[in-house]
Structure 1
Amino acid sequence: MSYDFDRIIDRKNTASLKWDYTKSFFGEKDVLPLWVADMDFKAPPEVIEALNSRVEHGVYGYSGKPNNFYESIINWMNKKHNWQITKEWISVTPGVVPAINLAILALTEPNDKIIVQTPVYFPFFEAIKNNGRKLVNNPLIVEDNKYKMNFKELEEKIDEDTKMIILCSPHNPVGRVWSQKELSRLVDICIENDILIISDEIHSDIVYKGYRHIPIASLSQEAKERTITFMAPSKTFNVAGLSTAYSIIPNRELRSKFNERLNTMHLGLSNIFGTIALESCYTYGANWLDQLKSYLESNIEYTINYIKTNLPEIKLIKPEGTYLLWLDFKDLELSEEEIDELLIKKAKVALNKGTMFGEGGEFHRRLNIGCPRRTLEEALYRIKKAIHTKK
């Protein structure tokens, strides 16, 4: 079956955060939104059919999670990521971000230090600071036109109070898919210093040709014993609004502490529709995902070529995964406020501001290419027109 990702779907007036709340976030209502990390595509038809069937039943009481739900996760991990997991390792959460907060509360103490690698997904900062832990920044570096981990600085910043690192894999917003060598080096450092690894792998299914996502917990027995992995079908199949994610925790002691906190807060029940969607996505969505990735790759190539031809002032490094592009506006020699003015007021395009992602985000913007080509073409044309008018 062939899927139509070119179809424009009107998301306005659906309480879409991306489309209906731009005024709240950008001060402008009529901007073209390519910011929030969800896509403008319908979920796979099998998922929609499964949800419709459950809706038609008409009774939406409390529900559990059938064995098929867990089997779908286990099979997906094995088939897509060559990772053999068991049912008992899996716990369901209402999202990856709530789960990261729970892990911090369950597995660290107030004033413990937690490392992040900026520029990185900004809720990591809030999860650390709002829970009374200390944020330690280990910024990524750019070498040979590629973002890399700064292992030398990482080791220098670790002390006896450092208890955890939050890994973003694949990395949002820079699009890196970490290699086995890089992940193994990180594991070695964490073993040597007795540091827990929280691995946000929500983008793990959207990886492009020539690259492979490796769950860091799958590298070795030592990695498995100190890693808490968080995943979800939300980015992959565009079902983020159903608020269903899961943790994979092989270590019995860590799992017990995490689940105790999860259950104390009564956050492990999930919801009927999220449960059904996850099982359907992982059972029937493989072909849809293959076609989606091909479409996203073509959008990336289009964007790279358009910028190279029409907007050479903007720099970007081709992502290895995710549907997010990390645009560098430094060469325009504008202030942050002037870049905002250019994009929001003149181009009428809404992108995520780079400084949201911490150190290394200055003069950058994050562009979401998970949309029909015509939407992307319009956004890039608007940016080109605004920059050329500025000149």
Structure 2
Amino acid sequence: MQHELDTVINRYGTDCLKWDYMEKWLGVPEGKALPSWVSDWDFKAPEFITQPLQERLDHGVFGYSERNEEFFSSVIDWWSDRHQVTLKKEWFHTTQGSMPAIAMLLESWTQENDQVLVMNPVYHAFFRTIENTQRTLVSSNLVNDNGYYSIDFEDLESKFKNGVKAMIFCNPHNPVGRVWTEEEVTRVCELCHQYGVYLIADEIWADIDFSEHRFFSCLRMEEHLMQKMAVCIAGTKTFGLPAFRLTNTMIPNEQEAAPLKRKLLAYGIDVFSSLSLSANQSAYRQGAKWVDETVAYLKQNIELLDHFVSSELTQVKYIKQESTYLAWLDCREMGLSDDELQQLVQDAGVIPSMGYGFGDQGTGFIRLNLGCPKSILEEKIKRLRTVLQ
């Protein structure tokens, strides 16, 4: 297993967004830098995923497909075993990714110009979706206490009192890497219930968990706290399957799910890719040991970066994340503008995600992808050493 994750896979020439499209989106020519921006990993899929895909390819007929009982039970059993969550088949609403689901939920549950809240800094696509559904963005800034982030519940409640209609809750949080505690998750859900705010929780990072307290899902709330709630779950990050574009959005309240169901039918999202269904079903059934070993490998990468930052860098801070394979590095003490910081790391031959893309609270930060073989991370560190020391 260690050997497989150490293996460097050449992703150039595969239409890979992260490797092949740096020049198109970032102006960086191919081969000039190591990409560390897009949040997918560079590990080869295990045989328990590729084998059923090969069987589908060998069959050779690619018609319309539906979700069978084993598809539902594989996800239900995984979430029961790993997260002590009891899912129900009738809660499932399957879409081609989490962001389409979130966009359709905003269109279903809110009106144009309604206020939608996120906790800043946060995954940049949330901003884009709120803007393009013509909703009004409201930010509640996370509290950064020497690198450890927490929720400002006083500010959150104040924003709710001022008319917020929906909240997008990143749990675990991208980019700051927090696994919110049971107490924090419960308080968010209680406030949403108290003020009638729709809660849309993105929990696709749930299985990449390094925390001591362990991930706690919104779907473990008491029934009355789940009446205006949707939770997006996926194997995307767990098994490295973003290419298959499959998210299951859980909505416990059937009445509140009705508008989304109508949208899914209107947009023709009622049949699915047989390849996507096969990959996900097999992964959930056979992937437990592999996921545990991959998370352990990612933790080694975190320790490697932490040692570099703590022992060699005086103006950069890194608080090891509790989730995700995305390191959130605080470079503000370097005294550079975002443009200067971006040029500095780009000249070193590393392309991270710049923190300002995650909201104004990300200014002066970079997000570095650690989901790669150790040798690639060592090369990233070698290059960053030349400019960050």
Could you say which TM-score interval applies, normalised by the shorter chain?
over 0.9
1:132-151 matches, cutoff 5 A: 132-143=134-145, 145-151=147-153
CA distance in 1, matches of 2:147, 2:339: 27
**Where does residue 366 of structure 1 map in the other structure?**
367
Note if 1:375 corresponds to 2:376: yes
1:169-248 matches, cutoff 5 A: 169-248=171-250
CA distance in 1, matches of 2:225, 2:43: 36
**Where does residue 114 of structure 1 map in the other structure?**
116
**Where does residue 36 of structure 1 map in the other structure?**
38
The sequence identity of aligned pairs, in percent, is 35
Match for 1:313: what amino acid? Q
Match for 2:25: what amino acid? F
TM-score, normalised by the number of residues in structure 1: 0.96
Aligned 8 A contact 1:3 1:288 in 2: no
**Where does residue 22 of structure 1 map in the other structure?**
22
Task: Report the Cα offset of residue 194 of structure 1.
Answer: 0.6
**Where does residue 350 of structure 1 map in the other structure?**
351
CA distance in 1, matches of 2:99, 2:303: 31
Match for 1:153: what amino acid? D
In structure 2, the CA distance between the partners of 1:181 and 1:309, relative to structure 1 (3 Å rule), is same
CA distance in 1, matches of 2:222, 2:146: 29
Task: Report the Cα offset of residue 45 of structure 1.
Answer: 1.2
Aligned 8 A contact 1:139 1:359 in 2: no
C-alpha deviations, 1:144-182, integer Å up to 9, x for none?
641001111111122363211000000000000000111
**Where does residue 312 of structure 1 map in the other structure?**
314
Aligned with 1:360: secondary structure? helix
Structure 2 unaligned blocks of 5 or more = none
C-alpha deviations, 1:166-203, integer Å up to 9, x for none?
00000000000000111111112111101110000010
Task: Report the Cα offset of residue 217 of structure 1.
Answer: 2.4
Aligned with 2:5: secondary structure? coil
Aligned with 2:361: secondary structure? coil
Note if 1:13 corresponds to 2:13: yes
User: RMSD between aligned alpha carbons?
Assistant: 1.3
Aligned 8 A contact 2:147 2:317 in 1: no
Aligned 8 A contact 1:244 1:271 in 2: no
Note if 1:321 corresponds to 2:314: no
Alignment: residue pair count? 387
Aligned 8 A contact 1:92 1:269 in 2: no
Aligned with 1:117: secondary structure? strand
CA distance in 2, matches of 1:50, 1:128: 37
1:266-305 matches, cutoff 5 A: 266-305=268-307
C-alpha deviations, 1:277-329, integer Å up to 9, x for none?
11011000101100000000000001000111222221111100111110111
TM-score, normalised by the number of residues in structure 2: 0.97
Q: Which runs of 4+ in 1 moved over 6 A?
A: none
